[in-house]
Amino acid sequence: MKAEIISVGTELLLGNVANIDAKDVSEALSELGIDVFFHTVVGDNEGRLRSALEIAEKRADIIITTGGLGPTYDDLTKQTLADYFGRRLIFHEEVAESIREFFRNIRRAEMTENNLAQAMLPEGCTIFHNSCGTAPGCGFRSRGKHVLMLPGPPRECDAMIKSGVVPYLTALSDSVIRSHTIRVYGLGESAVEQRLRPLMLEMRNPTLAPYAATAEMSLRLTAKAHSAEECERMMEPYLERLLDMLGDRAYGTDVGSLEEVCVRALTASGRTFACAESCTGGLLAKRITDISGASAAFLGGSVTYTVAAKRLLGVPADTIERYGVVSAETAAAMAKAAHDFYGADYAAGITGLAGPEGDGSDVPVGTVYVALADGKRVFLRRLSLAKFDRERVRIVAASEALDLLRRVCIGLDPAAEEFGA
C-alpha cells in the first residue's frame, strides 16, 4: 500500500517548529513495509487542507494527518476530514471522561468546556487513545481509503503511532514484516554502498535500506512473509553475509547506539570507564550516562576545558607547555590522568579545536586528538574535521572515543596508533 502524510500547522510552514511527526510516521510505516511517496505540509486553513486531501486521495491508499486535533478555533483537521469523507462527528462520552480525568489528575487545573470538542470523532471510527495528552486520534475507512488522524505534539504523536497506528495498519495485512538493523561505524555512505551494491541489487525480499547519520550508518534488513519465523529464515543468510562483508565496522545488530554497546561490553566484562574531555564539553560522559545501567561501569568524567582544569586532574604542566593544549601528548596525558584519578580500567582523553574560531596557535580548526588508556598502553586517533561545524566536530570526537573503547574492550584491532605507556 501507498501512504501520504499530511502535516497540518502554520507553524510548520513558518519554520517555527520542525516536522518531527512526519519523520516518526514515515519510520513506523517503513517498518510495516508501507511506502510513503509524499509528505505534504499545509497551514491551518480549511480550503488548502481540502485541496491537499483531493490530491492525496488520488495517489494514496492510506492518508495520515498530523496536527489540528486540539480544542482551539484553528484546529480544523478533524472537522475538515470528516466533512470531506462524509463522516458525521459524534460525541464519545468515554473520551470526554478521559479528558476530564487528565485535567483532574495530570494538569490539576480546571477544564474549559472547549476541550470537550476533542471528544467529537467520526462515526464508526477506531479511536486511538492519547496517553500523553487530551486529543485522541482515530482511523476509519472511506471510499476505499484508510484515513488516520494523529495529534501534532511529537510526544503525543509518537506514542499514538506505537499504540494505535501500528496495530491498526498491521491488521490490514495477512503478511508479517520483520526487520533487523545493523549499525556501522567508520564507513561512509558511499563506502558502504560500494561494498554492498552487488548484494543490494540482487535482493528483492528481503530488502536492504541504508540510512546515514552523523559519523555512522544503519542498514535495515526487512523481510515480508506469512509468519515471523519465515521472515527470520529468509533474513538469516543475508544477515550473515552482511556482517561478514562489513567486518568489525559493524558494531551491533538491533542495538541503539555505540554508547549502548560500550556499556554492555563493560558490564559484561566487569570493567570500568572514565573520561577527561575538553572540546567535547562532557558529551562523551552524557552519552554514556544516557544508557540505563551505566552506573555499573562508568566511574566519572571531568570536563577539563581549561589548562588549569587539566592540571588539576593531573596532566603535567610541562606536557601542555611543550606540546600545546591541542596535541597528541596532551590527549594521552589526559587519558592517563583520568585513568589514575578514577581508578578505571579504561579512560579516554579528548582535546581539540571545535571552532569555528582558532585559538591563536598554528593548530588548524577541526583538529582533534582522542586517546584511550588501559593502564599499560595508550591508543591514539588523530582527527582532521575542518569541514565540519562545531556541533559535528564534538559528536564525531565523542563517537571516535566510543568506537575506540568498544574495540579495545572486546579485543578487536583498536584501529589506532599505540602512543606509549
CA pair distance 314, 176, nearest whole angstrom: 57
* Class at the top of the CATH hierarchy for domain 258-420: alpha beta
Q: Measuring CA to CA, which residue among 178, 213, 353 is closest to residue 279? A: 353
Residue 359 grid cell = 585559538
Would you say 189 and 210 are in contact if contact means Cβ atoms under 8 Å apart?
yes
Mean pLDDT for 96-103 is 91
CA pair distance 421, 366, nearest whole angstrom: 27
**Domain ranges in the chain?**
2-170, 176-253, 258-420
Q: What is the mean pLDDT of the chain?
A: 94
Please determine, for residue 421, whether its predicted confidence score (pLDDT) is greater than 50: no
Residues in the chain: 421
Residue 419 grid cell = 602512543
Q: What is the DSSP letter of 358?
A: -
Q: Measuring CA to CA, which residue among 239, 255, 184, 241 is closest to residue 399? A: 184
pTM for the whole structure: 0.83
Q: Beta strands 2-8 and 35-42: pairing type?
A: parallel
The pLDDT value recorded for residue 73 is 81
CA pair distance 217, 187, nearest whole angstrom: 8
Q: Is 213 in a helix, a strand, or coil?
A: strand
Q: Measuring CA to CA, which residue among 395, 398, 394, 400 is closest to residue 414? A: 400
Q: What pLDDT digit, counting tens, does each position of 113-129 carry?
A: 889 999 999 999 999 99
Half-sphere exposure of 249 (CA within 13 A, CB side): 19
Residue 128 grid cell = 486511538
Q: What pLDDT digit, counting tens, does each position of 305-357 carry?
A: 999 999 999 999 999 999 999 999 999 999 999 999 999 999 999 999 999 98
Pinpoint the alpha helices (H) of 227-379: 228-246, 258-269, 283-289, 307-313, 317-323, 328-342
Question: What per-residue string of b and e applies to 300-321 under the rule 16 or more CB within 10 Å gives b?
Answer: bbbbbbeeeebeebbbeeebbe
Q: What pLDDT digit, counting tens, does each position of 195-246 carry?
A: 898 898 889 999 998 888 888 999 999 998 988 899 999 999 999 999 999 9
The pLDDT value recorded for residue 241 is 94
Three-state SS sequence of the chain: CEEEEEEECHHHHHCCCCCHHHHHHHHHHHHCCCEEEEEEEECCCHHHHHHHHHHHHHHCCEEEEECCCCCCCCCCHHHHHHHHCCCCEEECHHHHHHHHHHHHHHHCCCCCHHHHHHHEEECCCEEECCCCCCCCEEEEEECCEEEEEECCCHHHHHHHHHHHHHHHHHCCCCCEEEEEEEEEECCCHHHHHHHHHHHHHHCCCCEEEEEEECCEEEEEEEEEECCHHHHHHHHHHHHHHHHHHHHHHEEEECCCCHHHHHHHHHHHHCCCEEEEECCCCCHHHHHHHCCCCHHHCEEEEEECCCHHHHHHHCCCHHHHHHHCCCCHHHHHHHHHHHHHHHCCCEEEEEEECCCCCCCCCCCCCCEEEEEEECCCCEEEEEEECCCCCHHHHHHHHHHHHHHHHHHHHCCCCCCCEEEEC
Fold of 2-170: Molybdenum Cofactor Biosythetic Enzyme; Chain A (3.40.980)
2-170 and 258-420, same CATH topology: no
CA pair distance 163, 171, nearest whole angstrom: 13
The pLDDT value recorded for residue 104 is 87
Of 33-42, 189-198, 286-295, where does mean pLDDT reach its minimum?
Answer: 189-198
CATH of domain 176-253: 3.30.70.2860
Query: What is the greatest pairwise CA distance in the chain?
Result: 79
Q: Measuring CA to CA, which residue among 108, 24, 113 is closest to residue 71? A: 113
Give the residue carrying C-alpha cell 492510506.
62
Mean pLDDT for 394-420 is 96
